[in-house]
Every structure is written in structure tokens, then in C-alpha cells.
């Protein structure tokens, strides 16, 4: 398998609220909710980086599309990592998320491996790690 991940989909309970959080609160670019004319079709896409999008889709629609039973949501099966260029940017991004309605899970601090990171949960409970990793600095 060649790694060609182009969309990361987060299942959400309230699509308009989730769009407001990511668009208005975090400043991610989107055309808004599309596909509302189709049953289970409403979705919002956000540009992340070249070739990668974040999709927000109602949990009920994802369950319907996959044929899986709608189960309880949980924050711990995975986290999304957002690598930034400095310790100060870690603090700023977490504060921006909290101001937009996220819950601070773990205050940012030094890590055992020489970096700096903290965690927040979006309004649907998705876990994000904001990290400054000196070994994996993002491109400018």
C-alpha cells in the first residue's frame, strides 16, 4: 500500500457547531457545508495542507454509510497532531482553540523527548495534540 491519505474525516454530533469551531474559531478555510440536498450527504471540507483535507461529517451519516452501529464517542482511540514551529506557538494555538470552545485537556509543557506539547478536545471530543518537535519542524 502506498500512503496516500488525502482526507481525514471526523464524525461530529452537530455539524454547524463543528464548522463554526474549525472555521471561525481555528481559522481553517472551507466552503462551508455542502451536500445538504442528499440524505446523509451534508459534509464540510477544510484545507489543511497540499493534498490533505479535513472532513466533518455527522456521526449518524458515517454509521449509515459504513453499515456499522452508532456507538458511543470516545477521545482516546486516536489523536491528531499539529506540529508548530515554537513553544510559544503551541501555547497560542491551544489558547485559540480554548477561546473557540475547545476544552484544554493537558496544559502545554516540556516532554521527556525534548519537545513541548499540550492537548485539547474539540466540541465533539476529538483529541488534538499541539506540539513543537525540534526533530520534525514543519516547513515554512
Percent of the chain topping pLDDT 90 = 82
Query: What pLDDT band is residue 138 in, cutting at 50, 70 and 90?
Result: low
31 class by beta-carbon count within 10 Å (0-12 exposed, 13-18 middle, 19+ buried): exposed
Q: Where are the alpha helices (DSSP H) in 21-76?
A: 59-66
**What's the grid cell of residue 76?**
482516546
8-56 confidence digits (pLDDT tens): 999 999 999 999 999 999 999 999 999 999 999 999 999 998 889 999 9
* pLDDT over threshold 70, residue 121: yes
Q: Where are the alpha helices (DSSP H) in the chain?
A: 15-19, 59-66, 87-99
Q: Pick from 65, 95, 110: which residue ends a domain?
A: 65
d(CA 44, CA 117): 28
CATH of the domain at 106: 3.10.180.10
- Contact between 19 and 32 under an 8 Å Cβ cutoff? The reply is yes
Locus of grid cell 499541539 = 130
Q: Pick from 65, 89, 111: which residue ends a domain?
A: 65
Better-predicted residue by pLDDT, 99 or 135: 99
pLDDT for the residue numbered 50:
87
Dihedral angle over CA of 82, 68, 6, 119, nearest 10: 0
Structural domain of 58? 7-65
For residue 42, is it within any domain? yes
The mean of the pLDDT values for the chain is: 94
Least confident interval from 22-26, 67-71, 72-76, 98-102 = 72-76
Q: Residue 121 to residues 9, 35, 128: CA-CA distances in angstroms?
A: 16, 26, 6
Amino acid at each position: 500500500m502506498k500512503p496516500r491519505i488525502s482526507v481525514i474525516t471526523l464524525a461530529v454530533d452537530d455539524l454547524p457547531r463543528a464548522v463554526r469551531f474549525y472555521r471561525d474559531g481555528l481559522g481553517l478555510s472551507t466552503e462551508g457545508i455542502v451536500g445538504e440536498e442528499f440524505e446523509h450527504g451534508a459534509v464540510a471540507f477544510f484545507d489543511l495542507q497540499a493534498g490533505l483535507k479535513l472532513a466533518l461529517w455527522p456521526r449518524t451519516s458515517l454509521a449509515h454509510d459504513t453499515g456499522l452501529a452508532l456507538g458511543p464517542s470516545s477521545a482516546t482511540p486516536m489523536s491528531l497532531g499539529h506540529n508548530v514551529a515554537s513553544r510559544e506557538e503551541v501555547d497560542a494555538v491551544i489558547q485559540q482553540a480554548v477561546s473557540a470552545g475547545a476544552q484544554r485537556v493537558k496544559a502545554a509543557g516540556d516532554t521527556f523527548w525534548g519537545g513541548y506539547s499540550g492537548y485539547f478536545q474539540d466540541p465533539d471530543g476529538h483529541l488534538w495534540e499541539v506540539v513543537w518537535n525540534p526533530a520534525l519542524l514543519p516547513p515554512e
